[in-house]
Amino acid sequence: MSVQERKERERASRERLIVATARELAEQQGWDAVTTRRLAERIEYSQPVLYSHFRGKREIIGAVALEGAAEMAAALRAAASGADGRRARVSALAHAYLEFAERNPAVYDALFQLDGGLTFAHEDTPEPLKDAFAALLETLGEVAGEGVHPALFTELFWSALHGMVTLTRAGRLLPEGAEERLDLLVERLAVL
């Protein structure tokens, strides 16, 4: 292995460590606790080393979001592929989405609530974000209904799921109605 290859591997390893540490800290204490000073202390590198990888917290949030988008896409596909029939696939996908948000609140915030410097719904949208949407579209596109654009239907369904996540986390929806809400969404919005 050349010196250059070794340095590139070390750099990639440090970058993964920074992202993992930021994510861990955010999940434990919230994004306000994630500072370059704290990250530098936790990973035992200087702040200039962090800045050699990321220009600041915004880029770190973006890196966590991209990692989370890839994980979300995998979880959605796994849930949908394990279900038999259109209704079961849509229900499994919706459950997987809500479970991902519940298990990974800081990642969910990085994806959809915080400014990570990422563009959505544009040509230059990063691939992991496009793929997460594609994971939704693959299942939801088949239940959009005749004459309904599959991507628009997917955006509407996704918006409803996001609203459920956001309102539940804010204590605006009663927890005991969660399953009924999800069943209603699946039954009434999707053409099964």
State the pLDDT at residue 192. Answer: 67
User: At 163, is the pLDDT very low, low, confident or very high (cuts 50, 70, 90)?
Assistant: very high
Residue 111 has pLDDT above 90, yes or no: yes
pTM for the full predicted model: 0.93
191: how many CB neighbours lie within 10 A of its CB? 12
Tell me the per-residue pLDDT of 44-55, one tens digit each, with 9 for 90 and over: 999 999 999 999
pLDDT score recorded for residue 1: 78
User: Does residue 93 contact residue 80 with C-beta atoms inside 8 Å?
Assistant: yes
Write the burial class of residue 23 (CB in 10 Å: 0-12 exposed, 13-18 middle, 19+ buried).
buried
Q: List, as one string, the DSSP characters of 91-103.
A: HHHHHHHHHHHHH
Task: Give the pLDDT of residue 191.
Answer: 78
What pLDDT, on a 0 to 100 scale, did the predictor assign at position 190?
A: 80
Rounded Cα distance, 4 and 23, in Å: 29
| Mean predicted lDDT score pLDDT of the chain | 95
pLDDT at 189 over 90: no
Per-residue pLDDT, 182: 95
Could you tell me if 130 and 66 are in contact, meaning their C-beta atoms sit under 8 angstroms apart? no
Predicted confidence at residue 39, as pLDDT, reads 94
Task: Give the integer Cα–Cα distance in Å for 166 and 172.
Answer: 9
Q: 125 or 192: whose pLDDT is higher? A: 125
In a 13 Å sphere around the CA of 146, the CA atoms on its Cβ side amount to 0
Q: Is the pLDDT of residue 33 over 90?
A: yes
pLDDT of residue 128: 98
Q: What pLDDT sits at residue 57?
A: 96
pLDDT digits (tens, 9 = 90+) for 114-159: 999 999 989 999 999 999 999 999 999 999 999 999 999 999 999 9
